[in-house]
Structure 1
Amino acid sequence: MLIDHLVYAVPDLSEVGDLGIELTEGGRHVGRGTRNLLANLGGGAYFEVIGPDRDQPEPGAPRPFGIDELTAPKLVAWAARVEDIDDVVERAKAQGYDPGPVAVTSRRRADGVLLEWRHTPMLAGPLPFLIDWGTTPHPADSLPTGAELVSFRIQGDELGTGLQALGIDVAVESGPPGLTATIRTPKGEVVIR
């Protein structure tokens, strides 16, 4: 299982600021009221900056990752890339952890290419949501290089059961739930929380 992407949620995409990372327009999540900007992190992973899309009507449900309640940008979630997501979910359930139901989502890239993926609920927190790209192009493949994920830290108590059931072997620091990424950019290293 690999880190697919890190999710940095913002209350306003026009006020992301200079993270030192070259961000590329990702696309709109029609019906969810969000759009994103992306950056390649190397190794097949990417960085997603997601926020409200003010050009869409207000969605009928809250935006994912707690975006509607944000007052400041925050590294809120991460996705673990899997193949055969249904099998991974069933194996996790058998080990005592339910990652949630699998849904299908899509968005169109700025160049018109349709991306479709399957995923478990996209919730904020230190445990990952699962994502299976199937045969669709992976977003990182079309992004310029220039940034590199140097380290990714997970913090939180009692995460072992979920991570073990998903087959993820990572160190978890004790303390309140949180995520920290260190990204090497052309302007130096940036720590994102």
Structure 2
Amino acid sequence: MLTLDHIAVSAEALGPGTADVEAALGQPLLPGGVHPDMGTHNRLLSFGPDEYFELIAIDPDAPGPDQPRWFNLDEFSGPTRVTNWICRCPDIEAAIAVAPDGIGVPWQLQRADLRWTMAVPRDGKLPFGGLFPALIQWHGDAHPAPRLKDTGVRLAALRLFSPEADALQAALNPLLRDARVTVIAGQAPRIEAVLSTPIGEVIL
């Protein structure tokens, strides 16, 4: 079974994206780090002890990988917005085996004492137009969420708008039990995150 781990908000550049998110949430994002293997960097926000929010963008000072970057960032443009969600699993190889085709291949990654394996699609594009969750397996006890200052922001709902709603729901049913995640018929794939914040409900 999968467990929601974090959501990813993509931006054309980290600085302007940070300003966009901080203005919407009324909360400062915290320093994240760099992903040398992918040529990306991020900033973070707590969603409580087990979940978090990641703002991610291409790092202009880092070389890219020999394949497209994760989260289809090489083709990203436009407003800062939610583009992906990430679920953790106890056995990523087993999760990949039952996930839809195109979920990706395992990449071993590390930053300081954080160690994880992520399924990264060879073309950078996750199934169902990016609406199927990316898969992650954390190794050891280290995880970003409990290290972040808790400002009271929580993920209240995650809405997946899909032109393949029935097929996406069928793919998720055996893997995920989370009442916050709903699949809605839509003309084009998009993700909407509803956040409970100290300034009220915010939809990204």
Relative to the length of structure 1, the TM-score reads 0.83
Deviation, 1:136, is: 4.8
Query: Which residue number corresponds to residue 104 of structure 1?
Result: 107
Match of 2:198 in 1: 186
Superposition map of 1:5-154 within 5 A: 5-16=6-17, 17=19, 18-20=23-25, 21-42=27-48, 44-69=50-75, 70-90=77-97, 92=98, 97-98=100-101, 100-108=103-111, 113-121=112-120, 123-124=125-126, 125-146=130-151, 147-154=153-160
Give distance in 2, aligned partners of 1:34 and 1:168: 30
How far apart in 2 are the matches of 1:63 and 1:99? 14
Query: Alignment partner of 1:138: what SS?
Result: coil
Q: Aligned partners of 1:99, 1:166: CA distance in 2, in Å?
A: 16
Structure 2 vs 1, CA of residues 114 and 55 (structure 1 numbering), >3 Å: closer, same or farther?
A: farther
Q: Secondary structure at the match of 1:166?
A: coil
In structure 1, the partner of 2:5 is 4
Aligned-pair CA distance for 1:129: 1.4
Query: Is the Cα contact below 8 Å between 2:157 and 2:194 reproduced in 1?
Result: yes
Partner residue in 1 for 2:184: 173
Distance 2:199 2:184 in 1: 28
Q: What is the CA distance between 1:167 and its match in structure 2?
A: 4.2
CA deviation map 1:122-143 (0-9, x unaligned): 6452111111102151110111
Q: Secondary structure at the match of 2:173?
A: helix
Give the Cα–Cα distance (whole angstroms) in 1 for the partners of residues 95 and 197 of structure 2.
Answer: 34
| 1:32 counterpart letter in structure 2 | M
* Partners of 1:151 and 1:28 in 2: CA distance: 28
1:52-95, Cα deviation, whole Å (9 max, x unpaired): 212223544333223233122121110111111222333x16xx
Kept after mapping to 2: 8 A contact 1:33/1:53: yes
- Which runs of structure 1 show a deviation greater than 6 angstroms over 4 or more consecutive aligned residues? none
Moved more, 143-152 or 167-176: 167-176
Bigger mean CA offset, 7-16 vs 148-157: 148-157
Structure 1: gaps spanning 5 or more residues: none
* Equivalent-residue separation in structure 1 for 2:104 and 2:183 (angstroms): 25
**Structure 1 residues 189, 105: closer, same or farther in 2, change over 3 A?**
farther
Question: In structure 2, do the counterparts of structure 1 residues 126 and 47 end up closer, same or farther at CA, with 3 Å as the change threshold?
Answer: same
CA distance in 2, matches of 1:136, 1:115: 9
Identity %: 32
- CA 1:168–1:155 in structure 2 vs 1: closer, same or farther (change >3 Å)? farther
How far off its partner does 1:28 sit?
A: 0.3
**What is the identity, as a one-letter code, of the residue corresponding to 2:6?**
H
C-alpha displacement at 1:19, in angstroms? Answer: 3.0
* Aligned CA-pair RMSD: 2.2
For the 8 Å contact 1:104–1:116, the answer to whether it is kept is: no
